[in-house]
Structure 1
Amino acid sequence: MNRAETNTKISRWVKTVSVPPPTLQNNTADADRLIAILKRQLKADTIDIDPFVLKRLPNCLRNWDYHLRCVFFRDKKRWLLTGIKSIQNQEAPFAGLAVDLGTSRIALRLLNLATAEVIAESSFDNPQMVIGPDILARIHFTDQNGGLEKLNKLIKNGLNQMIEKLCLSCNLKPENVYLISLAGNTAMTHLFLGLNPHWMIREPYIPVVNRPGLVKAKDLGLRVNPGARVFIFPNIGSYFGGDLIAGILFSGMNKMKHTAILVDVGTNAEIVLGNKNWLIGCAGAAGPALEGGVSRMGMMAGPGIIDQIRIDPNTRDFTIHTIDNKLPKGICGSGVIDLAAHLFRSGMIDIRGKLIPDRCKDKIKNIAGNLHLVVVPAKKSSTGSDLTISQTDLDSLIRSKAAMYTILETITSTVGMSPGDLSTFFVAGTF
């Protein structure tokens, strides 16, 4: 192989290249020779090299006999070189990290950038929940002295701890992470960046920035590779964040011929309707009934959480399924929806969602003047206590369902459609 030519392309992120060694006839700088080769291979107008990579480049080129693997971030025709490795070093991959920065829960997925293989993934409760369970409470907290700094520190410390833990679980180091993509709602993005969200909730509801773009990880306080970059998904406005943009791109609804709908379920429901020709969005309060914590046994989705329930209409026996098949310790939003549907089908609640004691029989309890239905008896739960759903919980679910249905009816009727006209329905959220 000609040393001046590149090797076979590995992926869109990782390339293997051979750089011609310097001679008296070709005494251009190491970086210039590398850039010339990369421009030819990538058909790129501009290639930038991170300063940390530049510091390592001279010795690495000579120690590796001018063969190296490069990891890039691409922005249209501009490429940024963020890391290099010897082609002999196949043990530790170039890793990328995808972060879903949720209000209640944060999910991370570690990827091999050369193969697109998922290496590991995990999730954890948003540390900012100690300040407030919802975005509005946190935004108001930023008005206090040091409030914004505290929220910013909570999220960054939480991310750094989980990144380290996730890497250790697969024998990697945080230094192996070269690229990060991060998506969250507009407020969460602002709090992560340390930007004041004060004016987002005040007329005319303006965020500080809609397109944060590409940022150095070290400038954000993330302990990963010194050359790593973080791509932060853009917002559309105060109520439509990068998480919704990520959902649109992942679902591919922006490329579909037929009209589809995407619903991001949370305390606030965010909905996008459309196809490759047009998209329309709507946001509205759906209530917290699907986010855990409302019911005595309500929890966010995770191991041991009930996500499916079936009720025999004749015997009214419950068949419970939990995530990871662990002993039940709570129920998530999906489980609550399942439960309500089967309670109605089996005649244990009426059309208003009210419990019918005669049909529930020995499963019904009166606790502090409120009717409770025993879903899992104490002897079958991991908590050692009955897992119950109360009439108050069911009332909250009914209100959330009504709010969600109203949002769906509003957005579809705006374009002359009804929910029944939709053949593709995407749902996102931890519920």
Structure 2
Amino acid sequence: MIKVNFKSHNKEIYCNKGDNLLEIARNSNIFIDAPCNGSVSCGKCKVKLLKGNVDSEKTLHIKDDEWEQGYILACNTTVIEDIEIEVPSKLSSSMHGMKIEGSDKKKDKQIFDRAKNIIETHNLDFKTNIVKTYIEIEEPTLDDNLSDVDRLERHVRNNLGFNEIDFKLELLRKMPVILRENDFKVTITYVKKKNKITILNIESGNSEDKLYGVAIDIGTTSVVVCLVDLYTKEVIDKASSGNAQIKYGADVIHRIIYSTKKDGLTKLNQAVIDDTINPLLESLYVRNDINKDNVVTLVVAGNTTMSSLFLGVYTDYLRQEPFIPPFLKSPKIMGQDIGLNVNDSAYVYLAPSVASYVGGDITAGVLSAGIWASEENILFIDLGTNGEIVFGNKDYMMSCACSAGPAFEGGGISCGMRASNGAIEKVSIDKANLNPNLTIIGECEPIGICGSGIIDLICQMLLTGIIDRRGKIYRDLDNKRIRFNEHDIGEYVLAFKEDYNLENDITVNEVDIDNFIRTKGAIYSGASTLIESLGMDFSVIDKVYIAGGIGNNLNIENSILIGLLPDIEREKFAYIGNSSLVGSYLALISKDAKKKLQQIGNEMTYVELSVYPTYMDEFISACFLPHTNIEQFPTVKKLLED
């Protein structure tokens, strides 16, 4: 056996000769950022070899001086003898997002207010079908010797008006003791279905005041869990963290590929359930002194891949032509079925998907955006890892998905990270000296840059003459922030390590810029093609709703200037935040909203861009700043000419 000492984590691991270093770390729960899932294409899994020898090769992602210092790519390294490894803290920029982040009461209230507005505007029922009732059952005697279940059923029939009860084995196991410890005075939680009820929980005495539900948004990069009081319908608390699946790849394709490996599907399922959602739930229970058995219903929204992995369903056919998803509508699920840290009998409802790459997060988003009832033409764009787009109104809704990649959430960018403390979220550049002015989330030292910051940066680099419209840095600039490596790849320094006590400078290079241009090109060309498929153009749009994890600080003007969004009237744009979470919350607190969510999933039409005749030409044209056809962006044309 060979010993691998991860000195940075104070952890020693034993493995076999020839084992891959990245897989050794993964199997030991040591996080190493690897967005490309070990295909040696992103260069983010850079670690430092302190002692021993390995079988590894230098790549373009490792500079000459780094190679001399012992830096290697974990995914491109196999162990051949005892070694000592240091995982740089820079690699934790993505891991930083794995930390559980607490609630923001102001934002929590916004979720409630937006949902309430949808319910009131469209006359939806503000009710659920889950009820909690205190009951006092007649105690058994020699003359009245019905079984506990029959006794309970008789009481329900005579006093609550339901003819039949249903329940799971776990409830039966605890019923005899709870009934007798409390003199047959208990509280039951149940779901009403015409003349029948399904009992979810039985509790000691009168505990009618405690009844909770949970809304969950499973993003490819991050997960948000929202705890809701089912009586008041208010958001009690919220918690979020990075999706632990990120260690198996930054995007759905890499994760699907990993799921086909030995135990891959199990690991991905455990990563989202055991390592992400359950710890988030537990943090909410502890903060609010709540027993998990009082959490009796959940609504979960995620893209089609995330929903499948959440259930542990094989996903590989999603990425293979003709791109068939394993399911679209939610199967019947209870908490116990998938190991969620909630009441075993809790109902779990998955927001319906539309196609392989338009999932429940989008149907939930469309529900919260109100497109289904709008007289106006609304363009809905979810700026997440997958880049889904919906266009329509109350008469029709067309949808498509673009392979945008994780750049909007910091993935695929050398110093990228999700929008959390330490992320550079806004950038402006002084044209005279090319020095940046940075706004950092949490008003702390910077550790990376998130999606909104990248948009600002590329826009500013274009307007100040640092890059051309291809995204290439001008070679004749004489400035300490502009430099080129041994491969002649240019980079711009956002933050020097000396100024912020960092291990390395925070930089954005030409490869990062090219990745982001492709990302924004996918979104713009997807929207353009979707609207063109109806014989229309951007002029027919009445409103543009921007959703997703890119953050409230998305600069619409800068997004237009780089060609991410169409150059139309600015007042038409609005950022609506995590629409997937709001839609899940709506379906949790309203039976009518849940029915509407299912209807949206059934009625939305999907356009497969990969086979649409003009899409690829439009995509190539959009991979420019802002576009090869500058006439589509009159605002940018005027700015560049001035």
Q: Shorter-chain TM-score: what band? A: 0.7 to 0.9
- Shift of residue 384 of structure 1? 4.5
1:303 aligns with 2:438: no
Q: 1:186 aligns to what?
A: 304
Equivalence for 1:269: 387
Partner of 2:216: 99
Counterparts in 2 of 1:84 and 1:308: CA distance versus 1, 3 Å: farther
Partner of 2:466: 348
Q: CA deviation at 1:405?
A: 1.3
In the alignment, residue 319 of structure 2 is paired with which amino acid? I
* Distance in 2, Cα, partners of 1:316 & 1:77: 72
Aligned residues: 416
> Can you list the C-alpha shifts for 1:45-82, whole angstroms capped at 9, x where unaligned?
9975555556666855994986847464x789987543
- Which of 262, 265, 269 is the matching residue for 1:148? 265
TM-aligned CA deviation for residue 284 of structure 1 = 2.2
**Gapped regions of structure 2 (runs ≥ 5):** 1-124, 551-642
The offset of 1:305, in angstroms, is: 1.0
Q: Which residue is equivalent to 2:322?
A: 204
Q: Deviations over 1:330-376 (max 9, x none)?
A: 11111101111222233333333333466673321233432211112
Aligned to 2:521: 402
Deviation sequence 1:240-273 (CA, Å, 0-9, x none): 2111111111222112111112222234321111
CA contact (8 A) 1:71 1:84 kept: no
Cα offset for 1:282? Answer: 1.0
**Larger displacement relative to structure 2 (131-140 or 49-58):** 49-58
CA displacement at 1:204 relative to structure 2: 2.9
2:509 aligned with 1:414, yes or no? no
Partner of residue 31, structure 1: 153
Structure 2: distance between partners of 1:77 and 1:347:
72
Kindly indicate whether the alpha-carbon contact (under 8 Å) linking 1:309 and 1:335 is maintained by their aligned counterparts in 2.
yes
Distance 1:18 1:99, change over 3 A: closer
| AA matched with 1:240 | V
Higher RCO, Cα 8 Å, sep 6+ = 2
SS in 2 for 1:361: coil
Contact 1:213–1:233, Cα closer than 8 Å, also in 2: no
CA contact (8 A) 1:97 1:109 kept: yes
* 2:219 and 2:306 in contact (8 A); partners too: yes
The amino acid that maps onto 1:309 is V
Q: Which amino acid aligns with 1:353?
A: G
Does residue 320 in structure 1 map to residue 442 in structure 2?
A: no
Q: 1:205-258, CA deviations, whole angstroms, 9 ceiling, x for partnerless residues?
A: 322222233311111112322222211122222222111111111222112111
Between 204-213 and 185-194, report the one with greater CA deviation.
204-213
Deviation at 1:11, TM superposition (A): 5.7
What whole-Å deviation, never above 9, does each CA across 1:356-410 have from its counterpart, x for those lacking one?
4666733212334322111123244463532111122112222222222111110
Offset of residue 85 of structure 1: 5.3
Conserved in 2, the CA contact under 8 Å of 1:261 and 1:424? Answer: yes
Distance 1:216 1:287, change over 3 A: closer
The one-letter amino acid of 2:446's match is P
Q: 2:444 and 2:293 mapped to 1: Cα distance?
A: 34
User: C-alpha separation between the residues in 1 aligned to 2:485 and 2:194?
Assistant: 61
- Output the CA distance in 2 between the equivalents of 1:337 and 1:35: 62
Please point out which of 225, 228, 242 is paired with 2:360: 242
Q: Does 1:12 align with 2:128?
A: yes
Query: Which residue number in structure 2 is paired with residue 5 of structure 1?
Result: none
Change (3 A) 1:164 1:343: same
Select which of 218, 232, 244 maps to 1:127. Answer: 244
Q: In the alignment, is the contact (CA less than 8 A) between 1:100 and 1:243 conserved in 2?
A: yes
- Tell me whether 1:371 sits opposite 2:525 in the alignment: no
Residue of structure 1 aligned with 2:401, choices 283, 301, 326: 283
Question: Measured at CA, do residues 278 and 150 of structure 1 come closer, stay the same or move farther in structure 2, by a change above 3 Å?
Answer: same
Residue in 2 that maps onto 1:116: 233
In structure 2, what residue type is equivalent to 1:385?
Answer: N
TM-score (norm 1): 0.82
Q: Assess if the C-alpha contact under 8 Å between 2:415 and 2:449 holds in 1.
A: yes
Task: Report the Cα distance in structure 1 between the residues aligned to 2:385 and 2:492, rounded to whole angstroms.
Answer: 25
Give the RMSD, CA atoms, in angstroms: 3.5
Distance 2:426 2:320 in 1: 40
Q: Which of 424, 436, 455 is the matching residue for 1:337?
A: 455
Q: Which amino acid aligns with 2:297?
A: L
Identity %: 31
Distance 1:85 1:426 in 2: 45
In structure 2, what is the Cα distance between the partners aligned to 1:260 and 1:36? 52
Q: For the structure 1 residues 189 and 319, does the alpha-carbon distance in structure 2 shift closer, same or farther, using more than 3 Å as the test? A: same
1:14–1:295 distance in 2 versus 1, CA, 3 Å: same
1:262 and 1:394 map into 2 onto residues whose CA distance is 25
